Amino acid sequence: MKHILVTGGAGFIGSHVVRRLVNNYKDYHIINLDKLTYAGNLENLRDVEGESNYTFVRGDILDSDLIEKLFQEYDISGVIHLAAESHVDRSISNPMEFIQTNLVGTVTLLNVAKKFWEGRNDVCFYHISTDEVYGSLGKEGMFTETTAYDPRSPYSSSKAGSDHLVRAYFHTYNLPIKISNCSNNYGSYQFPEKLIPLMINNIIEKKDLPVYGKGDNIRDWLWVEDHAAAIDLVFHKGEVGETYNIGGHNEWKNLDLVHLLCDIMDRKLNRPAGDARSRIKFVQDRAGHDMRYAIDASKIERDLGWTPSLQFEQGLDMTIDWYLTNSDWLNNITSGAYKSYYESQYKNR
């Protein structure tokens, strides 16, 4: 049995990756290591809690003793590294937390992997990153795997640094690594500080819908389950030492996205047309707000055969239905009530 360590597996993207691996690879043992910060929620994985090939460990990727214990106890042969602080606004107000988790935490994992995997080529350290490391695009062009890094926020800078460190361990220590950089994810189980679940929650509660600046910033949107499928593919079939860009081929201006979301929500909630749009409030633009992101995902399509399965409108409709159907999850995570139960169930090892 292969023992795969997934860091940040209780988070938004991580929970989809863990669920996919637990359900699709019964000969794998998936160890989910998560600190359970505000965005880590074990309710995201309640459906796999009882599976025999799944183990949850509460802990911090900065804890080298814990990481070493896991490598030794389980003979870890693969790491899928998703644990990260990931919210740009939070990085602006508290950059040190992002440096610690995203840079020091990544090096801590790399050092343990290097120690236990010396001379092995049947192992893999797979680092999941973001398209924000490339900076901001103008009206034309797309990010490719060879685009020069130009991060603009403490968050994207910390992720850029972690990417460089992972590559350095490949070139310096021959550590078998893979990296992918993805565009904006959306879908079920996303913490409602991000744009789409924030707007859904605020529309439900008839609150203001804050839009930065004029809403002209453009993002490429990727359904989280398509991203999980791509991660699965890169982990198993990607070339060691290579980077793969993963994008949804779905560019939307923020304001156009919010308009679409408002109209769908009004219809689903049986409210008058234009009800949600009337609560859009333009707020001061975020410092260093990148204008446009767009991923050229031709490499992963050409080399590994991956393409996104959903167009944005279809995925958005499914996502809204999920949040409306799972109102208890949304209420719990916005109140923090879920933590009291899981705090009593899981302790640091």
Whether the Cβ atoms of residue 246 and residue 179 lie closer than 8 Å to each other: no
Better pLDDT: 159 or 90: 159
Which pLDDT score, from 0 to 100, does residue 249 have? 87
Read off the pLDDT of each residue in 84-91 and give the average, rounded to a whole number.
89
- According to the model, what pLDDT value does residue 345 have? 45
Q: Which of 34, 60, 131, 226 is catalytic?
A: 131
pLDDT, position 347: 38
pTM of the predicted model, to two decimals? 0.94
Bridging pattern class, strands 251-253 and 218-223:
antiparallel
Give the pLDDT score at 336.
Answer: 59
**Angle (CA) 249 238 7, round 5°:** 85
CA neighbours closer than 13 Å in the CB half-sphere of residue 19: 21
68 among known catalytic residues: no
- d(CA 181, CA 285) in angstroms, rounded, equals 25
User: Is 89 an annotated catalytic residue?
Assistant: no
The CA-CA-CA angle for residues 327, 333, 67, to 5°, reads 135
Is residue 293 annotated as a catalytic residue, yes or no?
no
Q: What is the mean pLDDT of the chain?
A: 93
Residue 214, Cβ density class (10 Å: 0-12 exposed, 13-18 middle, ≥19 buried): exposed
Give the three-state DSSP class for 310: coil
Q: Are 159 and 132 in contact (CB under 8 A)?
A: yes
Of the residues 126, 155, 293, 338, which is catalytic? 155
Q: What tens digit of pLDDT does each residue of 262-308 get? A: 999 999 999 999 999 999 999 999 887 889 999 999 999 999 999 99
* Angle at CA of residue 91, ends 195 and 141, nearest 5°: 60
Is residue 39 over pLDDT 90? no
**Marked catalytic residue, from 43, 60, 132, 163:** 132
Q: For the chain, what percent of residues have pLDDT higher than 90?
A: 86
| Mean pLDDT for the stretch of residues 100-107 | 98
99-113, 131-145, 320-334: which range is least confident on average?
Answer: 320-334
SS3 label, residue 129: strand
Residue with tokens 């389950």: 225
For domain 2-187+222-249+288-310+338-345, is the CATH number 3.40.309.10?
A: no
Q: Where are the domains of the chain?
A: 2-187+222-249+288-310+338-345
Contact 219, 290 (CB under 8 A): no
pLDDT digits (tens, 9 = 90+) for 139-169: 899 999 999 999 999 999 999 999 999 999 9
Mean pLDDT of 200-204: 95
pLDDT at 37: 87
What average pLDDT does range 185-202 have in this prediction? Answer: 93
